[in-house]
Amino acid sequence: MGKVLIIGAGGVGNVVVKKCAQNPDVFSDIMLASRTLEKCDKIKNDIKSMYNIDIKTAQVDADNVADLVKLMNSFKPELVINVALPYQDLTIMDACLEAGVNYLDTANYEPLDTAKFEYKWQWAYQDKFKNAGLFAVLGCGFDPGVTNVFSAYAQKHFYDEIHQIDILDCNAGNHGHPFATNFNPEINIREVTQVVRHWADGKWVETPPIIEEGSVHFSFNYPQIGPRESYLLYHEELESLAVNIKGVKKIRFWMTFSENYLTHLKVLRNVGMTRIDEVDYEGCKVVPMKFLKSLLPDPASLAANYTGLTNIGNIFDGIKDGKRVRKYIYNVCDHAACYREVQAQAISYTTGVPAMIGGMMIMKGIWTGKGVYNVEQLDPDPFMDALNKYGLPWVVEDFDGELPA
């Protein structure tokens, strides 16, 4: 049906390309591009042996608009799926505007020199994409992404008003390493060491980071997993849901962390290894976080020996026909099953599959528009159906448990 250019050949990129290759009726011509051509070619060879499909690969500097435009003009894709680093979102969006290509990503923009992520920079592209007649979809991974779609689905089918949304993300897997991150270490550590925010009564409420005294946490009993300590954390979908789910009074995001992970993170922070500014080391300028990233395992390398489950979902509290309704929508994913299918761990899989589905919605003309959209602004039903079909089945249950006030 059409051409897709996928930028980024890490763990998530691996999943996106392989899931696109499983659907050649939609993605008839696939190109994978990255700064490191060898990574692209390895995935290309996997796809050739698995599906007998030949994809194209290319080297590209995603920080360079001219380089990106040259590649897009040469390949002429209908859609760019951006699974590169969040630092590169704006350059890729600029290139899409110049080359006249639709855009989709999985994480919002973050400045390289400031550990701060929010949608204001990408929302500022609304008029540019609208005037160009182009469609940009932001945050189409799992969280953000599927959690946004769950919210739109609940709003459409179960509620007259949603008053509260709690998003709960549990990774109960075991990768066998004393300390490792499940996606890019630099992005992961910047995210979890920030001051925590949640939305309540029309304003942002701040609480301490997860590794500091006063952090907010509680034990939640995750289906198929059991009780896990869950920490209040800021996550980007809170920002867009607060705008697009009308009438919502409170939105929070919770994530599980082991004591082992938190202890390592505290020590690394205390000795300065999580700093993102340059320090002088024997006459050389070094960013401690980047050096730390070079020492930690590549998240893609964790997949082969990863065991256990993830559970990510939303708990909703609101009103339907004058009565209080509480619903829980969630997905459970198996690390080992993901590896058997696409040689990835479940964190990459749960991000990559929704990116492919979002791309499919655009390529098939199911999701359309001019301008910049978050996924909760689009029809959730076909996306929810596709989750069941392409590897991320979901469950809806009535919820009668307890959450923190």
Q: Which pLDDT tens digit goes with each residue over 276-330?
A: 899 998 999 999 888 988 988 887 788 888 999 999 999 999 999 999 999 999 9
Residue 228 located in a structural domain? yes
Q: Which tokens is 7 given?
A: 């930028």
Can you give the pLDDT at residue 129? 98
Domain span at residue 202? 146-344
CATH number, domain containing residue 189: 3.30.360.10
Quick one: pLDDT at residue 270? Answer: 86
Query: Residue 404 — very low, low, confident or very high, per pLDDT cuts 50/70/90?
Result: very high
> Tokens 């990129």 identify what position?
13
Q: Enumerate residues 6+ apart whose C-beta is below 8 A from 367.
A: 135, 137, 358, 361, 378, 379
Residue 116 has pLDDT above 80, yes or no: no
Residues 79 and 362 sit within 8 Å (Cβ to Cβ): yes
Q: Which of 244, 220, 116, 245 is nearest to 169 (CA)?
A: 220
Whether 395 is in a domain gets the answer no
pLDDT at 276: 85
First to last CA, the chain: 49
Is residue 1 over pLDDT 70?
Answer: no
Residue 243 lies in a domain: yes
The mean per-residue pLDDT over the stretch 209-215 comes to: 92
Give dist(CA 43, CA 54) in Å, integer: 11
217, part of any domain? yes
Q: Read off the pLDDT band of 18 (50, 70, 90).
A: very high
| DSSP sequence for 339-372 | HHHHS--HHHHHHHHHHHHHHHHHHTTSS--SEE
pLDDT computed for residue 14 by the predictor: 97
pLDDT exceeds 80 at position 113: no
> Looking at beta carbons, which pairs linking 228-232 to residues 24 or more positions away fall under 8 Å?
228/170, 228/172, 228/256, 229/256, 229/257, 230/168, 230/170, 230/254, 230/255, 230/256, 231/255, 231/256, 231/257, 232/196, 232/198, 232/207
Asked if the model's pLDDT at residue 200 lies above 90, the reply is yes
Average pLDDT, the chain: 95
Is residue 340 in some structural domain? yes
In a domain, 6, yes or no: no
Q: What percent of the chain has pLDDT over 70?
A: 99
Separation between Cα atoms, residue 168 and residue 222, nearest integer Å: 9
27-44 pLDDT tens trace: 999 999 999 999 999 999
Contacts with 393 (C-beta within 8 Å, 6 or more apart), sequence order:
331, 387
Can the peptide bond before residue 144 be classed as cis, meaning omega within 30 degrees of 0? Answer: yes
Tens of pLDDT along 323-354?
999 999 999 999 999 999 999 999 999 999 99
Write out pLDDT tens, residues 43-56: 999 999 999 999 99
pLDDT at 95: 98
Q: With 0.85 as the threshold, say if the pTM is over it.
A: yes
Contact between 346 and 7 under an 8 Å Cβ cutoff? The reply is: no
Residue 107 in contact with residue 348, Cβ under 8 Å? no
**pLDDT, mean of residues 255-280:** 89
In angstroms, rounded to a whole number, what is the distance separating the alpha carbons of residues 313 and 167?
A: 6
* SS3 state at 75: helix
Give the up-direction half-sphere exposure of residue 59: CA atoms within 13 A in the CB hemisphere.
4
Between CA 7 and CA 63 the distance in angstroms is 11
| Assigned domain for 141 exists | no
- The number of domains in the chain is 1
pLDDT tens for residues 154-193?
999 999 999 999 999 999 999 888 888 866 777 778 777 8
pLDDT average, residue stretch 100-116: 88
**What distance in Å separates the CA atoms of residue 199 and residue 205, rounded to the nearest whole number?**
6
* Per-residue confidence (pLDDT) for residue 234, from 0 to 100: 94
Is 157 within a domain? yes
Rounded to an integer, what distance in angstroms lies between the CA atom of residue 59 and that of residue 332? 35
